[in-house]
Chains A and B, each alone.
Chain A
């Protein structure tokens, strides 16, 4: 999985590319932990490039949200593809994460 980082509206935006699954879940958790140590706790995770997510991938997002929530931050999610959106809805994570059409819209909500 490739993780690209940029800043929009002073918010770190992580753009993921590839499958967010058992083999890549740790990458995202480590990236969010690393950012939180720099006190970057308001994040957008852009999923436009993610065409597949499994339970491990979801677990990494939940775990990352807990990490930043404890520090007073938040994670917003943008640009879900169909398979990923279906999985979010099945597990009702769309009610826990703020979901936005694109990363700019998500970053502007902080």
Chain B
């Protein structure tokens, strides 16, 4: 499976996102869907860059494949602090401007954009598997639908 490993730093963000986007483009995923996949990948990577290695530096690895031109299967792994990002509570997007948390939306986007999301700790690695279909679940009726079930 194609793999890319890079230092977990913002300077490498675009290259890592492009690695994933190229797979979706090759499989002729719709442009809007590719932007959604990029958003999910970006949120995960920025989280890793910001929090996985608080006292040191480290790498992030991505593996990616497209199954039957229908499903993009992505694994993002790091050797940082054990952390299941999927356990982050959902933000209250119905809250008003002053009640809203400014952070916390990243995982919300990941869960909305991916059809499936699975976390496992394997040895010293955090491994997050994300699966994206060609179209986002519930994208037609947007506000309350779609994504990984809570």
Contact = CB atoms under 8 A, between A and B. Distances in A.
Contacts of B38: 52
A54 B97 contact: no
Contact of A62 (B35, B102, B106, B143): B102
A82 B117 CA distance: 25
A67 to B, nearest CB: 11
B71 to A, nearest CB: 21
B46 A54 contact: yes
A69 B100 CA distance: 14
Nearest to B105: A55
B134 to A, nearest CB: 16
Nearest to B45: A22
Interface stretch (A9-17, A38-46, A83-91, A100-108): A83-91
A65 B102 CA distance: 11
A22 B14 CA distance: 12
Interface string A50-70: 011011101100110110010
Chain A's interface: helix, strand, loop or mixed, by majority?
Answer: helix
A37 B131 CA distance: 46
A92 interface: yes
Contacts of B106: 54-56
Given A23-B10, A69-B97, A96-B97, A58 B105 contact: yes
B137 to A, nearest CB: 13
Interface string B93-112: 11011101011111011001
A90 B32 contact: no
Contact of A54 (B42, B112, B142): B42
Given A21-B42, A55-B43, A55-B109, A90 B35 contact: no
Contacts of B10: 22-23
Nearest to B107: A55
A87 B113 CA distance: 11
B142 to A, nearest CB: 6
Contacts of B93: 90-92
Interface of B: 10, 13, 32, 35-36, 38-39, 42-43, 46, 93-94, 96-98, 100, 102-106, 108-109, 112, 142-143
Smallest CB-CB A-B distances: 9 pairs:
A55-B105, A55-B106, A83-B35, A59-B102, A22-B46, A92-B93, A91-B93, A96-B97, A54-B42
Given A62-B97, A86-B36, A92-B93, 16 more contacts: A21-B46, A22-B10, A23-B13, A54-B39, A54-B43, A54-B106, A55-B104, A55-B106, A59-B102, A63-B102, A65-B97, A83-B32, A83-B35, A86-B32, A86-B142, A89-B142
